[in-house]
Amino acid sequence: MNRREFITLVGGGAAVWPVVARAQKGAIPVIGFMSSRSSTDSERAVKAFVKGLADDGFTAGKNVEIKYLWANGDYEQLEVFAKAFVSEKVAVIVAVGGVPSAEAAKQATSIVPIVFSVGPDPVKAGLVGSFNRPEANVTGVSLLTNALEAKRLGLIHELVPTAATIAALMNPANPASAQQAQEITDAAPTINQRVEILGASDGVELARAFARIKQIRANAMLVGADPFFDTRRDEIVRFASEQRLPAIYQFREYAVAGGLVSYGIDLTDSYQKVGAYAARILNGTRPQELPVLQPTKFELVLNLKTAKALGLTVPPQLLARAEEVIE
Name the CATH superfamily, with its identifier, for domain 7-144+266-297: Response regulator (3.40.50.2300)
> Would you list the domain boundaries of the chain?
7-144+266-297, 146-265+299-326
Which one-letter DSSP state was computed for residue 40? G
| CATH topology agreement for domains 7-144+266-297 and 146-265+299-326 | yes
Query: How do residues 173-215 score in pLDDT, each as one tens digit?
Result: 988 899 899 999 999 999 999 999 999 999 999 999 999 999 9
**What is this structure's pTM?**
0.83
- What are the angstrom distances between the C-alpha of 177 and each of 200, 221, 292? 11, 16, 22
Residues of the chain falling short of pLDDT 50: 1-25
Cα–Cα distance, 163 to 150 (Å, whole number): 16
Query: How do residues 108-142 score in pLDDT, each as one tens digit?
Result: 999 999 999 998 889 988 999 999 999 899 999 99
| Residue 318 near residue 160, CB atoms below 8 Å | no
For domain 146-265+299-326, the CATH architecture is: 3-Layer(aba) Sandwich (3.40)
Cα–Cα distance, 181 to 170 (Å, whole number): 7
Residue 248: closest CA among 144, 158, 173: 158
- Per DSSP (E only), the strands in the chain are 7-9, 30-35, 65-70, 92-96, 114-118, 138-142, 165-170, 194-199, 220-223, 247-249, 261-265, 298-303, 324-326
pLDDT at 145: 75
Helix (H) / strand (E) containing 182 = helix 177-191
Cα–Cα distance, 129 to 301 (Å, whole number): 34
Residue 318: closest CA among 280, 263, 254, 281: 263
Query: How do residues 251-262 score in pLDDT, each as one tens digit?
Result: 999 999 999 999
